[in-house]
């Protein structure tokens, strides 16, 4: 005998009403950005730019191992990039402006999507057993803000020279000496290491994820994408963490 398991009676149910209305815009780029899929595109594209920046920043800084002269020369080169097409430091400022824009859009889309998701979600009373989500993907919302705070600290320390983030001996233009003086403080070295681990996790999920958001993936390369993500994350963590460790160990001084 079949038991009655469906709620009986009322069959006149209305469909669930929409939870939100999206503001449509006539300007297609704006319209695209107001959609969640569009924001994910923006996140992925700014993400690519920021990954490129982080990687070249790390590679450039490897010159610290070539000694003070080479390193300071590299710092000076950055200011003279594309001279004489642009006057001195102008190209550097263009790059900085671009980076700021990328950060702004990356963060803005992240915040608005996170808010959308919190509204769309209802939590389970029993323990949810996650099968595919990994530590990196589940902590994006935490590693993101950690990286932002660290970025501000890092700029205050080695670019603006604002105490207490920077050392008392900070001197503009003395990139090598500033870096060594800063990393000789074990707490600061610790901050750099922890922040770069967070960055590594963020980049691991981000690098894997951006292909999906842009829709440029190919099932044949899905495994390769995992390796690529691991490679990018590992390169950043190993490269960037090596600097404070090298200073603390006395390899760079």
Partner 1 sequence: MRITLRVWRQPGPEAQGEFRTYEAPEVSEDMSFLELIDAVNEDLLEKGEEPIACDSDCREGICGMCGVMINGLPHGPSEGTATCQLHMRKFQDGDLIEVEPWRAAAFPVIRDLVVDRSAFDTIIESGGYVSVSTGSAPDANEILVPKSASDAAMDAAACIGCGACVAACPNSAAQLFTSAKLAHLNLLPQGQPERWDRVEIMVDTMEEFFGSCTNHGECEKACPKEITIDFIAMMNADYVKSKFKNRRRLGQKKAG
Which residues of the shown chain bind partner 1 in the complex (CB under 8 A)?
A: 1-7, 13, 15-16, 18-22, 28, 31-32, 35-41, 113, 116-117, 119-133, 137-138, 140, 205, 208-209, 211-217, 219, 222
> CB 212: neighbour CB atoms within 10 A?
13
Of residues 66 and 216, the one with the C-beta less far from partner 1: 216
CA pair distance 217, 209, nearest whole angstrom = 10
Of residues 110 and 181, the one with the C-beta less far from partner 1: 110
Q: What are the residues whose beta carbons fall under 8 Å from the beta carbon of 211, sequence distance 6 or more?
A: 44, 217, 225
Instruction: Tell the smallest beta-carbon distance from residue 5 to partner 1 (Å).
Output: 5
Instruction: Tell the smallest beta-carbon distance from residue 166 to partner 1 (Å).
Output: 36
Instruction: Give the CA-trace dihedral at 150, 152, 157, 161, to 10 degrees.
Output: 180
Of residues 35 and 159, the one with the C-beta less far from partner 1: 35
Instruction: Tell the smallest beta-carbon distance from residue 39 to partner 1 (Å).
Output: 7
Instruction: Tell the smallest beta-carbon distance from residue 112 to partner 1 (Å).
Output: 9
Of residues 56 and 222, the one with the C-beta less far from partner 1: 222
Of residues 33 and 103, the one with the C-beta less far from partner 1: 33
Instruction: Tell the smallest beta-carbon distance from residue 24 to partner 1 (Å).
Output: 8
């Amino acid at each position: 005998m079949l038991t009655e398991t469906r709620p009986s009676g009322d069959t006149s149910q209305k469909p669930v009403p929409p939870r939100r209305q999206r503001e449509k815009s006539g300007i297609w780029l704006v319209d695209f950005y107001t959609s969640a899929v569009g924001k994910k595109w923006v996140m992925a594209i700014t993400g690519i730019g920021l990954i490129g920046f982080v990687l070249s920043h790390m590679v450039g800084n490897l010159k610290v191992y070539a000694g003070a002269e080479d390193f300071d020369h590299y710092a000076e080169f950055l200011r003279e990039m594309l001279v004489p097409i642009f006057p001195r430091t102008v190209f550097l400022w263009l790059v900085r402006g671009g980076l700021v824009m990328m950060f702004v859009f990356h963060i803005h889309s992240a915040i608005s999507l996170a808010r959308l998701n919190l509204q769309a979600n209802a939590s389970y009373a029993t323990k949810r057993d996650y099968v595919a989500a990994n530590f990196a993907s589940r902590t994006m919302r935490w590693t993101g803000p950690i990286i932002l705070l660290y970025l501000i600290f890092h700029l205050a320390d080695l670019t603006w020279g604002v105490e207490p983030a920077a050392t008392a001996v900070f001197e503009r233009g003395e990139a090598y000496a500033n870096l060594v003086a800063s990393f000789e403080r074990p707490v600061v070295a610790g901050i750099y290491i922890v922040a770069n681990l967070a960055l590594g996790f963020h980049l691991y999920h981000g690098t894997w994820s951006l292909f999906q958001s842009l829709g440029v993936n190919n099932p044949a390369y899905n495994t390769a994408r995992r390796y690529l993500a691991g490679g990018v994350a590992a390169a950043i963590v190993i490269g960037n963490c090596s600097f404070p460790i090298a200073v603390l160990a006395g390899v760079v001084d």
